[in-house]
Amino acid sequence: MLKAGMVYLVGAGPGDPGLITLKGAECLAKADVVIYDHLLSEELLEMAPPGAERIYAGKTSSRHTLEQDEINGLLVGKAKQGKTVVRLKGGDSFVFGRGGEEAEALASHHIPYEIVPGVSAAIAAPAYAGIPVTHRKMASSFAVITGHEDPRKGGSSINWEKLATGVDTLVFLMGMQNLPEIMARLKKHGRPPETPVAVIKDGTTPHQKTVTGNLDNIADRVKKSGLSPPAVIVVGKVAGLRKKLRWFDNRPLSGRRILVTRSRQQAGSLSKLLRQRGAIPVELPVIEIHPVADFARLDSAISQLDRYHWAVFTSVNGVEAFFARLNQLGKDTRSLGSIKIAAIGPATVEALVQRGIKPEHCPTEYTSAALLAGFKKMAVNGQRFLLPRADIADKELSRGIKGMGGIVQDIACYHTVPASASSNAAEILSRGEIDMVTFASSSTVTNLLRALKGKKSLLKKVKIACIGPMTAEAVLKAGLTVDIVSREHTIPGLVTAIEDYYAREV
């Protein structure tokens, strides 16, 4: 008989993927099957192995992809196949997450399982809105209440009379549709009409929006704001602290929708930094990084590395492509021998350091001109230079070294090609939802313009941020306006420049 697998009921947290627990992430990393809920971040699903089966079991107030009995059956069925199953649920599984019902189903079928608690939206959403659910001077107790009871119960099991005045802070989950009724019941049973109330939609995510008021006016204010479910409702004196303690949704980039045009492999680092500052990154890779079709020239250079005096790396992609080929040929960093290494940019330097190599020459300004200025101070006449780079790399660097008497082998070790995903670029920009477009290389400019198929005017309606002067030059040549050129030509530098730009507008 096939031995039953293992089921982990994992609380994924309230929305911010960084709030999943370490144990939850460890469970995802070994999952064969992930059965996940509505509104979970894509980043969480990426923590599972690439080959893991992903099954959507989300529910909204109006639509259930799978009924609860079907979900229970799915958990049991997959476990009986001997699989490791992660049931990934928003917030905490046991706080109005029906995790108890799922655990009961597993227990009745003798399926082994573990409960992995998660951060509940009941405390996280208020915290991200600047509202502590308890406070030594104004709230010694709090309660979490469902705002949407099971209609099959035939009546409410909430003791409104005692709840209204017996607990300092009340947190209602799933109560948006019943907001007026909830407020009326609290007032009816003695809660003062002026009691502060906050309604927080999409808590802990870049989309977070909060409406404040009191028992008397919050329903009208929410209606006028257009706020829709899901949302967390906080009732109590602590809700009045938001104005003073607000921190998450008042950052310079809060709510800004910023287009990330880097390759899919590299977009993550920029998106993460933007998200940390409150922005909503919209990834639209317009380039893809591919290995060259013929490695003959690179292989020849690698087989004769002892002939070179310098190896110059201008990007992380160049480092990765070169060392991948070096390893493929059965060699390692020892093959570089006494060759001196030069690099442009801290990310490139870090990629080399991770391979045990500390570059001899890396200018403080991350440009080819700065690199050349450094070489000019050295005796490079007659020295051999290896430049493993992209096929479309500009020739400024190789021309400059040759001009100093250096002998250059500029070898393409990877291709930069238009990404197929960029075909919907015009559609994304035409919606009018993008505030800014970021360009981290000249090739991203060229390929986005190509993807727009003549609709260049769409880029005149947004702000444009460039990582450096060469990228900005490509934008200007296209007849467009550059709003930001980062002083430090790195991804963190670009994000800082964007943040500074919007901070000036506040």
Note whether 495 and 273 are within 8 A (CB).
yes
Given 32, 37, 202, 435, the catalytic residue: 37
Strands (E), 335-457: 340-343, 384-390, 407-418, 436-439
Q: How far is CA 369 from the centre of its chain?
A: 34
Nearest to 28 by CA among 108, 66, 75, 85: 85
The one-letter code for the residue type at 388 is P
Pair 148, 59: CB distance under 8 Å = no
Q: How far is Cα 282 from Cα 259, in angstroms, rounded to an integer?
A: 5
Q: Is 337 exposed, middle or buried (0-12, 13-18, 19+ CB in 10 A)?
A: exposed
Q: Which of 47, 174, 176, 183 is catalytic?
A: 174
* Catalytic residue check, 460: no
| 295 C-beta neighbours (distance < 10 Å), count | 18
Which one from 59, 80, 272, 331 is the annotated catalytic residue? 59
7 forms bridges with which residues in the sheet? 85, 113
Whether 227 and 221 have beta carbons less than 8 Å apart is answered as no
Q: How far is the C-alpha of 158 from the C-alpha of 141, rounded, in Å? A: 17
HSE (CB half, 13 Å, CA atoms) of 131? 32
Count of Cβ atoms closer than 10 Å to residue 402 Cβ: 14
| Residue 483 is a catalytic residue | no
Which stretch of DSSP H or E encloses residue 352?
Answer: helix 346-353
Q: CA 78 to CA 369: how far, in whole Å?
A: 59
The secondary structure of residue 2, as a DSSP letter, is: P
Amino acid making up residue 286: V
Closest by CA to 492, choosing from 467, 463, 462, is: 467
Residue 271: how many CA atoms within 13 Å on its side-chain side? 19
Q: Are 232 and 121 in contact (CB under 8 A)?
A: yes
Contact 333, 355 (CB under 8 A): yes
The two structure tokens encoding residue 22: 């370490």
Could you tell me if 172 and 164 are in contact, meaning their C-beta atoms sit under 8 angstroms apart? no
Q: Which amino acid is at 340?
A: K
Q: Is 174 a catalytic residue?
A: yes
| Active site positions, annotated | 37, 59, 174
